[in-house]
């Protein structure tokens, strides 16, 4: 068994929608980044790579590489999952926290869990997504940023 932790933060700017866990959420702000800026999928990607000791998302998809500009984060997660599978691991469960003042994540939670589960080739009940606000404090509370953290448990094939 291997545990990995992933974390990411992106600035927010006017416009929308907000891409979160591969789901397009109606919102008046969008995350800004070199790729499609899906903060949740970036945290999941780092968590699975870290658990398998295979580096991180920045090593696989450097932000100074133009090939990664606007890259689909679901494709990035799938590529990372391929590496993890080739290393002999499978996902047992994923537990995520999204830190955002707005929008409310609850109405989108099920779709986000299904989206992540599909990319990881697991059942939706193996993926948990929770949300916390910034309580009006700091960059998240002032709606200047959005963040995500993720913990993943991998199981080795035992070979």
Domains (ranges, CATH) in the chain? 2-156 (3.30.1330.50)
Distance CA 31, CA 155 (A): 32
pLDDT of residue 159: 56
For the chain, 159 residues long, the average pLDDT of each consecutive 10-residue run is: 97 94 96 92 98 93 81 94 97 98 95 98 97 93 96 87
pLDDT of residue 146: 97
pLDDT of residue 34: 85
Rounded to a whole number of angstroms, the distance between the first and last alpha carbons of the chain is 13
Question: Any residues with CB less than 8 A from the CB of 36 and at least 6 apart, and which?
Answer: 19, 70, 71, 72, 73
Are the beta carbons of 61 and 50 closer than 8 angstroms?
Answer: no
Q: Token pair for residue 48?
A: 């699975």
pLDDT of residue 137: 93
């Amino acid at each position: 068994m291997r545990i990995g932790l992933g974390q990411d933060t992106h600035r927010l700017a006017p416009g929308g929608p907000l891409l979160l866990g591969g789901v397009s959420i109606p919102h008046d702000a969008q995350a800004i980044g070199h790729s499609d800026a899906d903060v949740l999928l970036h945290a999941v990607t780092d968590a699975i790579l870290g658990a398998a000791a295979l580096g991180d998302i920045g090593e696989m998809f450097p932000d100074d590489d133009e090939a990664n500009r606007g890259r689909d984060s679901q494709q990035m997660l799938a590529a990372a999952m391929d590496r993890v599978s080739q290393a002999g691991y499978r996902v047992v469960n994923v537990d995520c926290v999204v830190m955002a003042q707005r929008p409310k994540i609850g109405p989108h939670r099920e779709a986000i869990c299904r989206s992540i589960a599909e990319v990881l080739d697991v059942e939706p009940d193996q993926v948990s997504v929770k949300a916390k606000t910034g309580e009006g404090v700091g960059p998240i509370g002032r709606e200047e940023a959005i963040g995500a953290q993720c913990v993943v448990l991998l199981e080795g094939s035992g070979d």
